Structure 1
Amino acid sequence: MKAGSSSLIFNGQTFIASDVRTIHYRNTDAQGELPFNLSGNQATGEVCDWRRGNLFLTLDYSTFPMDSYSGRIVSLDSLRLENKRSDDEIRESAGCLKGEILSENCPHCGAPVHWPSGVTSFLLCQSCGSSLNTTKDTVVLMEANAQRKEQENLFTLSIGTKGRLNDTEYLIIGAVRFAEISSYNQNQSEYWTEYLLYNTQQGFAWLIESGKRWRLSETLQTWPDFDSSGNPAGEMLIDHYRGQVEAAAGAFYWKVKQGDLLHYKEYSGKKSYGRNVILCSEQSKDEIVWSKSSPVSYRQMRKAFGLSFDTKEMLSYWLKGDNRNVGSRDNVARIIAMLILIIVNLPAWLSPHLRSPVGIVVSLCALVWIWVSDRYKNDRDYEEERVGTIIFFAFIIFLTVLFNYVKAEDSDSSHSGSSYHGYSAGHK
């Protein structure tokens, strides 16, 4: 069985393997009643999780006959629990509660580290990079790393920073820097950073930084419907690539290490989730997860996390298409170019002395060309191509000016010149 590709039929419905792995019960602590005997430190178990929409199926192959568990994914809000504690009440409660932000010093370098209790089990010291275990609400050194990296030079946002997005206050508890590994170019030339956000009530979210572009991403509890090819039904594939972990710091709910390789597929999520939404599958050796992300403007980031205002960066951000509609080319630049072409050439079209049939035909062709140009391309590199597209539009406008003014004016001058000389010949 392979995550993301193997399937089975259960109760007449097709499920996709989402998590296939061997579980090792080594030095595991347990409390309370369990449906199995946890006695040996070296016990192992073969487990596979399957998903379809908001349904799950878990098969445990370590027993005979195998154990199976089926159910559906629910959110905390859907349970409609009453008398829930607020964030302030949780912080004021005595003792160490799930979600409470804890702090200690790194056992290796002594730098302060922070993590939310009970929701993350793995921590990377942002100062020395050492691997720490947090399962007992204290940090235990797993693997030392003496290589110190200056966080402020590596990440735009600092771990421990708070910010408000979509009316939710998040705390940045972790950050991972990825290098894009292309199938046709093994050079790691493009990078992006993912910040793990945490809110006591809402749980986890991801803030993705790619160049000067930002997106807010959340893991899908309900998976999309798939077509016969295994792609989200009705959605278009935008890109596929691999990402390798270059560096990481902070707290995570899984073990992160340098060199981890993940496979990504991005789809337009317009049909299922709305405009500008990207669907993404992230697959490792043992697991596949689905997420959706939406763009966050630079203005929102400045307001939420205090990023500096930079006019040059803002202009570059717009030119690279920060808020473009996924799945279609940028209509804003196209409409602006058409308006400029019409306004600049309108006097020539209305003037009987400058009006040229050739110029009018060229103008109409230019308008059509601008309107359809690059409209049906859907490559992910449009952000980098947008500046070239704008220059291309400017060149077309320049050509129409040549035909409507320079050529027409030359023709009019030669005609006016002959009339002027003939008129002067009859007078002194």
Structure 2
Amino acid sequence: MAEEGGNQRYYRAPCPGCGAPVEFRSAQSAFAVCPYCQSTVVRQGETLARIGKMAELFDDFSPLQLFAAGRIQNQPFTIVGRLQYSHPGGRWTEWIAALDGDRTGILSEDNGAYVFALPFELQRAAPPPGDLRVGATSAFNGQSYTVSSNEQVALLSAQGELPHLPELGRPFPMVELRNDKGLVLSIDYGTEPPGAYLGRSVQLEDLQLTGLRDESAKDEKGRAFNCPNCGAPVTVNLADSKSITCGSCNSIIDLSQGIGGELKHAEQDEPVRPLIAIGSMGQLQGAQWQVVGFQHRMGVEPGDDEHFGWNEYLLYNKKRGFSFLVDAEDGWSMVKPTTGAPVMAENGSSATYLGKRYTQQYAYNAETTYVAGEFYWQVERGQKTFNRDFASGNALLSMERSANELTWSSGSKLDSGLVSAAFKLDDKKDMFVRGDALPVSAASGLGCGTIILIAIVIIVLLVILSTCSGSSGGSRSYGGSYGGYSSGGGHK
């Protein structure tokens, strides 16, 4: 039965499984899941045929829900469906947005933020997924893109009405490409021919959303559990957490497959105490941030045997998502994953993003050695990546590459005094001072002769270093990971 609802024509027919009404608000929706009996139905004209039963949804505690409405580029849209996928790093959700009855978009997670994408017609056939290697460049419709991830994914569950429905549990490739203009191109090999979507980063607050999930209505059941190693109570505070550490025994607990199943864990020895405590609140860059995670990492330049270390604090703000506060030898910085992918020179000496050119400072192998708190990606000790750090004045850019993912992040340097004041740790501000402080400013009480002597020593050291090999040295700049292993795609 077709009915008129305001300006929107929609279809309603009885569920072939239980007889309850099933509605189709979008003309592009061919499938739906009955909200009463979870039957999966396909629309055939104005009748429905049952093709199976949908698996139970994994509660991702998202603020989004069916029938929430908003605006994108001054166009109204309504969320009508949800698809939940799994990949080696965990799970993620895509929300189906009906724009005007004839078009549907996808609102999906992107490193704690969101990407809104629309169907994109490729002017050439999508290449085989094996040809799109992570880090490689490829052109589509006259635009150059860099492959940022190439994963095998599978549909876990679905809700509402859907324009397409991959076979439940069957793995298929999903490839994401990004460019230096901030565009995200997703190629979905779960259909034939493969489907493509092109999107940009969005903030939920900018979408003017109404009908969001009521915070008080969240079912918190299952968000607290006993540590599988020591039995101590563990509470998950963030909706998107895929890893958490036990506060009692420091074990890393894998949440990527949900709390309901058997929890995998890894024990950690020799705990590292963060300078800024987990749970601390701080005001930085015009927003209130909470420290929710911490990791210590070690790096070494290829061909060198001298290691260096640095710390990264994962910060969370409800409206801005996640950022990283990085504590390195030469100073503090604050960065967050980029939506697009900068263009890097072939020799790696520079990178360009959003019209700005950055010069490479360091290239090195990195390894995570200790973690604490919660993380929106599946974090483990021993995770290894290859990193490059770039700079343009105080502006920073970083690349992190693993086997299946290429992640970029951007941000800027921070004064150490600003960081200590932000977290109300002025009494410990001397502990925040790093190599960014000039010798004179760090010792204002020194005499002129002492200052000259320091200058001579620095000059001698520079001469000695200049005679060394072409290595950029044992010190690294600005921080490294910035969200590596963060499943950095619009679909994750």
Could you say which TM-score interval applies, normalised by the shorter chain?
Answer: 0.5 to 0.7
Give the partner amino acid of 1:33.
E
TM-fit CA distance, 1:117: 3.9
Matched, 1:321 2:436: yes
Deviations 1:336-390 (A, max 9, x none): 9xx959x99xxxxxxxxxxxxxxxxxxxxx99x98xx98xx99965989xxxxxx
CA distance in structure 1 between the aligned counterparts of 2:233 and 2:278, rounded to whole angstroms: 11
CA distance in structure 1 between the aligned counterparts of 2:364 and 2:183, rounded to whole angstroms: 28
1:227/1:240 Cα in 2 relative to 1: closer, same or farther (>3 Å)? Answer: closer
CA distance in structure 2 between the aligned counterparts of 1:69 and 1:116, rounded to whole angstroms: 32
Residues 122, 254 of structure 1: 8 Å contact kept:
yes
Gaps of 5+ in 1: 325-329, 345-365, 385-428
SS of 2:296 mapped into structure 1:
strand
SS of 1:243 mapped into structure 2:
strand
CA distance in structure 1 between the aligned counterparts of 2:159 and 2:186, rounded to whole angstroms: 22
Structure with more contact order per residue of length (Cα contacts < 8 Å, sep ≥ 6)? 2
Matched, 1:133 2:133: no
Residues 49, 59 of structure 1: 8 Å contact kept:
yes
CA distance in structure 2 between the aligned counterparts of 1:381 and 1:308, rounded to whole angstroms: 32
Equivalent in the alignment of 1:32: 160
TM-fit CA distance, 1:18: 0.9
1:112/1:148 Cα in 2 relative to 1: closer, same or farther (>3 Å)? Answer: farther
The alignment covers a number of residue pairs equal to 325
Equivalent in the alignment of 1:248: 371
Give the partner amino acid of 1:74.
V
CA distance in structure 2 between the aligned counterparts of 1:223 and 1:235, rounded to whole angstroms: 13
CA distance in structure 1 between the aligned counterparts of 2:270 and 2:261, rounded to whole angstroms: 23
CA distance in structure 1 between the aligned counterparts of 2:211 and 2:448, rounded to whole angstroms: 58
Residues 254, 378 of structure 2: 8 Å contact kept:
no
CA distance in structure 2 between the aligned counterparts of 1:237 and 1:262, rounded to whole angstroms: 17
Residues 166, 191 of structure 2: 8 Å contact kept:
no
Paired residues for 1:163-242 under 5 Å: 163-186=282-305, 189-211=307-329, 213-226=331-344, 231-233=350-352, 234-242=357-365
Deviations 1:139-167 (A, max 9, x none): 7552133x35465x432233222222223
Give the partner amino acid of 1:303.
A
Q: 1:8 aligns with which of 138, 158, 162?
A: 138
CA distance in structure 2 between the aligned counterparts of 1:15 and 1:208, rounded to whole angstroms: 28
Residues 252, 371 of structure 2: 8 Å contact kept:
no
CA distance in structure 2 between the aligned counterparts of 1:180 and 1:303, rounded to whole angstroms: 29
Residues 133, 141 of structure 1: 8 Å contact kept:
no
TM-score (norm 1): 0.63
CA distance in structure 2 between the aligned counterparts of 1:309 and 1:212, rounded to whole angstroms: 21
SS of 2:302 mapped into structure 1:
coil
Equivalent in the alignment of 2:188: 60
Residues 147, 176 of structure 2: 8 Å contact kept:
yes
CA distance in structure 2 between the aligned counterparts of 1:186 and 1:164, rounded to whole angstroms: 39
SS of 1:299 mapped into structure 2:
helix
Q: 2:240 aligns with which of 119, 125, 130?
A: 119
Equivalent in the alignment of 1:262: 385
Residues 2, 17 of structure 1: 8 Å contact kept:
yes
Matched, 1:276 2:404: no
TM-fit CA distance, 1:76: 3.5
Give the partner amino acid of 2:189.
Y
The structure that is helix-richer by fraction is 1
1:114/1:207 Cα in 2 relative to 1: closer, same or farther (>3 Å)? Answer: farther
Give the partner amino acid of 1:133.
L
CA distance in structure 1 between the aligned counterparts of 2:418 and 2:472, rounded to whole angstroms: 23
Residues 176, 249 of structure 1: 8 Å contact kept:
yes
1:50/1:110 Cα in 2 relative to 1: closer, same or farther (>3 Å)? Answer: same
1:5/1:223 Cα in 2 relative to 1: closer, same or farther (>3 Å)? Answer: closer
CA distance in structure 1 between the aligned counterparts of 2:290 and 2:211, rounded to whole angstroms: 21
Equivalent in the alignment of 2:175: 48
Paired residues for 1:87-126 under 5 Å: 93-96=216-219, 104-126=225-247
TM-fit CA distance, 1:180: 0.6
CA distance in structure 1 between the aligned counterparts of 2:275 and 2:239, rounded to whole angstroms: 27
Q: 2:265 aligns with which of 144, 155, 164?
A: 144
CA distance in structure 2 between the aligned counterparts of 1:295 and 1:379, rounded to whole angstroms: 24
SS of 1:20 mapped into structure 2:
strand
Give the partner amino acid of 2:294.
A
Equivalent in the alignment of 2:148: 18
SS of 2:417 mapped into structure 1:
helix
Deviations 1:220-266 (A, max 9, x none): 22444555667423321111111111122222222111111111111
Deviations 1:286-337 (A, max 9, x none): 11121113222222222222446358657xx36x224x8xxxxx9x88xx9x
Moved more, 285-294 or 212-221: 212-221
